[in-house]
Amino acid sequence: MPIWIYILASVIKSAIVLGVLLTAVAYTVWLERKVVGHMQNRWGPTRVGPFGLLQPAADGLKFLFKEDLTPPHVYKPLYIAAPMIAVVFALTSIAVIPFGNSITIAGYTIPLQITTDVNTGLLLILGVTSIGIYGVALAGWSSNNKYSLLGGLRASAQMVSYEVSLGLSLVGVLILTGSFSLNDIVAAQGGHFWGFIPRYNIFLQPVGFFCYLMAAYAETNRIPFDLPEAETELVAGYHTEYSAMKFAMFFMAEYANMITVACLATLLFFGGWHGPIFGPEILQALLPVFWFVAKVFVFLFVYIWVRGTLPRFRYDQLMAFGWKFLLPLSLVNLIATAIAVAW
């Protein structure tokens, strides 16, 4: 492939993926408000547009034009940098995620991901998303506010603690596949058990998926693990002193991380873009993307369902669950998988 076609394809894919991701972030907020509203016998957004579909646009305009207050006691450079760090690294990790296998246009084969297949794609995602912890920690410290500092400390401790279990929960999948490449992991899940059960890693690694799911909830600061934002204890946590778009950036980072976690769960445990493929050639090229998006949507719905169902843990319960239950369980799963593969 000529270099100019490669660059042009990369620019077009980057623009499309970024636009779709930001739209998905906005409408995940709408979906959460709508679904949780119906779960609690409320309507959710209804006023702006049909079914409240223009509510994300209204919220975005509100944040853009809201007065941006900077308290005089903050450490300004890090106070401004913290939300940028959080949102930039939350959006960056989507670059190595494949949404399908590849498509052929004018005789050129275009992979359906921004980068080419990276052999260490999974490690890159884990590394990039872990840097987002700095945004939360710096926001709490630079605000020079005791509530913000406590929220930042609790968030950092929580995210670092569950990062260990999240990484270990994925090692079983890596042992089964023998590769860090996300494309290889998806390819290994092709075919069926006994001719009718999809060969997804969820059936081979159910304990690993449970550990991943619990760690993902804690990593993204979601109920029942949203301790850094416990309103009854810490006002609003590490973003107490933020307003306008800086405040919105933290929520953009949270929902972008949710989408990244859902994409990883789909790729590692649910077969990625594998699914029934039939019909004309154009459909055969687009159906894998449809199956990938459908699986991600189901995972996001479960996220929202849990928020509308479970209460918040106490902080000591959160840390005890991570270190005393989830970490040993992920280690046992890792050892059992290694023994089974070796045997």
Domain coordinates in residue numbering, the chain: 3-342
Q: Are 275 and 291 in contact (CB under 8 A)?
A: yes
3-state secondary structure of 39: helix
pLDDT, residue 329, reads 92
pLDDT, residue 310, reads 81
How wide is the angle at C-alpha 174 spanned by C-alphas 185 and 167, nearest 5°? Answer: 115
pLDDT in tens, the chain (343 residues): 677 777 887 788 888 888 888 888 888 889 988 888 888 888 888 888 888 888 888 888 888 888 888 888 888 889 989 889 988 888 888 888 888 777 777 777 777 778 777 777 788 888 888 888 888 888 888 888 888 888 888 888 888 888 888 888 888 888 888 888 888 888 888 777 877 788 888 888 889 899 998 888 888 877 777 766 555 555 667 888 888 888 888 888 888 888 988 998 998 888 888 777 655 566 666 788 888 888 999 999 988 888 888 888 877 888 888 888 989 999 999 999 899 888 8
Q: Are 199 and 108 in contact (CB under 8 A)?
A: no
pLDDT, residue 332, reads 92
The pTM of this model reads: 0.87
3-state secondary structure of 332: helix
Cβ neighbours, 10 Å, residue 52 = 18
pLDDT, residue 70, reads 84
β-bridge mates for residue 198, sequence order: 192
β-bridge mates for residue 193, sequence order: 197
Q: Are 313 and 224 in contact (CB under 8 A)?
A: yes
Q: How far apart are CA 99 and CA 302, in angstroms?
A: 20
C-alpha distance from residue 169 to each of 166, 207, 262 (Å): 5, 8, 15
